[in-house]
Amino acid sequence: MSVPRRRLRGIAAAALAAGLVLSAAACSASDGDSGEGGQSTIVLQYFGSPGFDAAVAAFQSANPDIKVDAQNMGELKDFTPKLNQWLATGQGAGDVVMLEEGTLLGYLETPDKWTNLLDLGAASLEADFLPYKWANGFTADKSKLVGLGTDIGGLAMCYRTDLFQKAGLPTARDEVSKLWPTWEQYAATGKRFKESDAVKDVAWIDTATAVMQPYIMQNSQTWFYDTNNNYIVEQNPIVREAWDFGLQMASDGLTGKLQRWQPDWNAAFANAAFATVPCPAWMTGSIAERAGDAGKGKWDIATIPGGSGNWGGSYLAIPEQSKNKEAAYKLLTYLTGKDGELSSYKEKGNMPSNVKALDDPAFKDSTNEYFSNAPTGEIFGASAKSLKPIYLGPKHQGIWENHFETEMRNAEQGKKTSDEAWAKAVADGKKLAEG
Amino acid sequence: MSVNTHAAGMPRHAASPPPLDPGQRRKQARQVRLGRLDLKMSPYLYVAPFFILFAVFGFFPLIYTGWVSMREWGLIKGDQGFVGLQNFQEVLADANFWNAMLNTFGIFVVATVPQLLLALMLANWLNRKLRFRTALRMGILLPNITSVAAVGIVFGFIFADRYGLANWVLQSLSLDPVSWRGSRWASWTAIAFMVDWRWTGYNALIYLAAMQAIPRDLYESASLDGASPTRQFWQLTVPLIQPTILFTVIISTIGGMQLFTEPLMFNYGAAGSGSGLENFQTIAMYIYTTTFEGNFKYGLGSAMSWLLFMLIIFFALINFLLVRRSLKGSVK
């Protein structure tokens, strides 16, 4: 009969009711693991434009019992923090997620968050992949295979034939390739280009930072880290060499001083504000998207100065938290298999890392209509098998994007001297690498 | 028991109350108890949602953040153990943190001072007899209800360096284009535009409400004494709504210290780590980037959050003291 206890009970009941409402609201968001009618749903999360649409559709019609929920997570920088939170909390990540080369090694440091693809039968696929691409998917002790390769970044140089013509330069891709066997000759051609009044508002290259990746990847086997994950950028003369070369082009007035992946850069494509851009295979899709129909047929592809190298490329992995690993593995091996990678290539120009796809006539004899029917299979394929892999290290992408690229742009835009910017980038990069 | 029945409204002196059988009596007693319970409990029940929500989304995170701030904790690697105040030491020695602090204060001052002045003018204008008064009053709140992300994206395009609207206007006036993200003042100004666009109307409505509480006859006698409208505004309206002004200052301070979305969208969604954004990275952005990008230092980010929390408390206290003083002053 005691009233206080009843009151407590009442409060408890009210609190419980409110709590239930709250938790029900919280739960309902994460439901939806299983579809109807015995169909299981697999969530695929990717960034950028990997060209999975047709491949996913083909996979679904071949596997009617699996429904693929393909989620485009925006650019890499949008996806990375989200994926990290999902891995940290143990829920939210898709069944198959895409990992970029520059961030992959960071994820390999927490192998317990990932499914070992060897357990699902991936061992037999070794011969299908380029050796370095296969090897990079493993954890440091080689016991666990976390990811299988999607695309790789075979290198080329994309250029605008209409601007070349205005400036009095040759426009045929073979002749253009002969203009720049080396980076020095590339810069010299840029100066010739700038001498023409017909193109005086046009930059030779979009930004000084654009030469860093190809230049370093051609000339060094390491970048910020050595293979023991020590931060060694100051002992790597190639990085400073590339930095100085890029900024020299800037002070010669050859660069557009743009920031990649931002609205101004996108608009610059539409406005034909620069004549050349180093383009890994996956970049061709990005260029076509940005330059739009107006640029169709005005772009072409020549070889890159300085020989072959690799720039970017991704992996697909299965987070340990996935509830349907078998079906996830089916999707993963389809997308990284011959048919899946050829489909990505056809859709967005992403170059296969799967050897069977690389050897297929559908890749080898392919041309790109947008780029004046350039024989892309031949141009990109030529460098693919002779690639020297470069070791990137766990926090490569963050060090590059947040510190070196930003500081180099500060120097390019004249906000800092080259030495000031370099010192700041080295110090902040060290803090990130060793912190 | 008898008191209970009495309270239920059954007169004791009723001529011949029909004898109640035990079942009915129990039922009646239960209803009475429920009635009393209802009377005492309902108010708690009605206010409970706020307290429960606050406990779950306010108080608990606050305490938990405090706990995490004293631990070495990587977001993905997990808890690495207790480190005491080491995180706080590290934050206080971090030049990027102080840089973010400077930016936060700078943007706060550049945004808030013109914003409140403008709101005051707007409120004074709306306080007059105008046509379409209600429509106008509602209209000035419109910017506030648009999504901040949408605002940020649109303003990000307006203040783009190369192909932005603002620079296009400047150039068509034959002025030099401004590198909006390239200098401290330019970026602060651009962000202040976004903040003010959203919040001026909101503050104006609060001022308007306060102004409407001022008795009309004060203005009438001021007019009879020959005071001009401008003088009435500065010497009558502004002093009389001073407590409201201080309230908006407190609210703007709290909002300003937590500024995040506008500068983030201004940088096209990149919170960056340190060096890239030295001109306009705010504390909230630095907390985000420390915790969720780069090194994923959950403990360090929590320490920063706590410092920010204490800073806001500090400013709220100062404001509170000012309000009290000004109220005392107005009573005299």
Q: What is the pLDDT of residues A139-168, one digit of tens each?
A: 988 999 999 999 988 889 999 999 999 999
* Confidence at residue A292, expressed as pLDDT on a 0 to 100 scale: 92
pLDDT score of A253 more than 80: yes
pLDDT score of A29 more than 90: no
* Confidence at residue B16, expressed as pLDDT on a 0 to 100 scale: 59
- B chain contacts of residue A424, beta-carbon cutoff 8 Å: 275
Contact call for A406 and B275, based on CB within 8 A: yes
3-state secondary structure A225-281: ECCCCCECHHHCHHHHHHHHHHHHHHHCCCECCCCCCCHHHHHHHHCCCEEEEEEEH
A398 band by pLDDT with thresholds 50, 70 and 90: confident
Mean of all residue pLDDT scores within chain B = 85
* Confidence at residue B326, expressed as pLDDT on a 0 to 100 scale: 67
Chain A: give the shortest CA distance to residue B11, in Å: 24
> A260-272, pLDDT tens digit by residue?
888 889 999 999 9
Chain A: give the shortest CA distance to residue B122, in Å: 35
Mean per-residue pLDDT for A35-53? 84
Mean per-residue pLDDT for A231-254? 96
CB atoms within 10 A of CB A227: 11
Spatial contact of B70 and B81, defined as CB atoms under 8 Å apart: no
Nearest to A18 among B52, B164, B268 (CB): B52
Substitution target in A103, A259, A402, A412 with the highest count of B β-carbons within 10 Å is: A402
- A chain contacts of residue B163, beta-carbon cutoff 8 Å: 263-264, 267-268, 271
Chain B: give the shortest CA distance to residue A96, in Å: 18
Nearest to A402 among B48, B164, B272 (CB): B272
pLDDT score of B83 more than 90: yes
* Confidence at residue A99, expressed as pLDDT on a 0 to 100 scale: 95
pLDDT score of A35 more than 80: no
> A71-85, pLDDT tens digit by residue?
999 888 889 888 988
> A272-288, pLDDT tens digit by residue?
999 999 998 889 988 99
Contact call for B75 and A425, based on CB within 8 A: no
- B chain contacts of residue A14, beta-carbon cutoff 8 Å: 41, 44-45, 48
pLDDT score of B299 more than 60: yes
pLDDT score of A26 more than 50: no
Angstrom distances, CA of residue A115 to CA of A67, A86, A137? 21, 15, 12
- B chain contacts of residue A402, beta-carbon cutoff 8 Å: 272-276, 293-294
> B180-208, pLDDT tens digit by residue?
888 899 999 999 999 999 999 999 999 99
Chain A: give the shortest CA distance to residue B48, in Å: 8
Distance of CA B140 to the CA centre of its chain: 18
Of A98, A68, A69, the closest CA to residue A83 belongs to A98
Substitution target in A259, A407, A426 with the highest count of B β-carbons within 10 Å is: A259
Mean per-residue pLDDT for B247-272? 86
A31 band by pLDDT with thresholds 50, 70 and 90: very low
Residue that wins the pLDDT comparison between B13 and B327 = B327
Q: What distance in Å separates the CA atoms of residue B61 and residue A191, rounded to the nearest whole number?
A: 59
* Confidence at residue B17, expressed as pLDDT on a 0 to 100 scale: 59
Complete domains list, chain A, with CATH: 26-152+313-364 (3.40.190.10), 155-311+374-434 (3.40.190.10)
Nearest CA in chain A to B157: A263
Chain B: give the shortest CA distance to residue A100, in Å: 15
B161 band by pLDDT with thresholds 50, 70 and 90: confident
> Number of A:B CB contacts under 8 A?
103
Mean of all residue pLDDT scores within chain A = 88
* Confidence at residue A3, expressed as pLDDT on a 0 to 100 scale: 44
* Confidence at residue A24, expressed as pLDDT on a 0 to 100 scale: 47
* Confidence at residue B194, expressed as pLDDT on a 0 to 100 scale: 92
At residue A151, φ and ψ (nearest 5 deg) are -105, 170
* Confidence at residue B77, expressed as pLDDT on a 0 to 100 scale: 78
Chain B residues interacting with chain A (CB cutoff of 8 angstroms)? 33, 36-37, 40-41, 44-45, 48-49, 52-53, 56, 75-78, 156-157, 160-164, 179, 182, 268-270, 272-276, 292-297
Mean per-residue pLDDT for A392-414? 90
What whole-number percentage of chain B has pLDDT above 70?
A: 90
pLDDT score of B332 more than 80: no
> B32-69, pLDDT tens digit by residue?
888 888 888 888 999 999 999 999 999 999 999 999 99
Chain B: give the shortest CA distance to residue A110, in Å: 7
Contact call for A88 and B76, based on CB within 8 A: yes
pLDDT score of B256 more than 60: yes
Residue that wins the pLDDT comparison between A6 and A206 = A206
* Confidence at residue A16, expressed as pLDDT on a 0 to 100 scale: 52
* Confidence at residue B203, expressed as pLDDT on a 0 to 100 scale: 94
pLDDT score of B79 more than 60: yes
* Confidence at residue B168, expressed as pLDDT on a 0 to 100 scale: 92
Mean per-residue pLDDT for B266-291? 79
* Confidence at residue B21, expressed as pLDDT on a 0 to 100 scale: 79
A74: left (phi over 0), alpha (psi -120 to 50) or beta: left
A33 band by pLDDT with thresholds 50, 70 and 90: very low
Chain A residues interacting with chain B (CB cutoff of 8 angstroms)? 3, 6-7, 10-11, 14-15, 18-19, 22, 77-78, 80-81, 84-85, 87-88, 109-110, 113, 258, 262-264, 267-268, 271, 273, 395, 398, 402-403, 406-407, 413, 415, 424-425, 428, 431-432, 435
- B chain contacts of residue A88, beta-carbon cutoff 8 Å: 75-76, 78, 296
* Confidence at residue A12, expressed as pLDDT on a 0 to 100 scale: 54
What whole-number percentage of chain A has pLDDT above 70?
A: 91
pLDDT score of B226 more than 80: yes
pLDDT score of B330 more than 60: no
* A306-320, A413-427, B131-145, B273-287 — most confident range: A413-427
* Confidence at residue B322, expressed as pLDDT on a 0 to 100 scale: 77
